[in-house]
Structure 1
């Protein structure tokens, strides 16, 4: 291995969505930093099998609201 080209590998703390914590090794941040997860296996529908509606308006509704007046001519 070439020296001086590899990132520093150190211990960091991981905080899951439910508040549980564990320590692992990573190249993220500095030694002792904390990484707070927004999505993890305890909350993601792919692992839990439970769907939650996060976006109540939807992408099409947002688009229609934003561009509703475009293309309409005023008399």
Structure 2
């Protein structure tokens, strides 16, 4: 790998999924003032709302979100057009 291609603040950072508490270590330049202990070491922490451990696409728990009966309205219109 080439030397001196990363910024000076490129460092190990823990990303914490706030929806399920999972954490993983990666390298980043994200600015943060909080720290957390992870695997016996203290690292800066970046809190995220969703990650691959909680995203429905990766977990296989897809949900059909029905807002104000939109799915039912579509299904009834679709059923009429098929006849």
Give the structure-2-normalised TM-score: 0.45
Higher share in strand: 2
Give the structure-1-normalised TM-score: 0.48
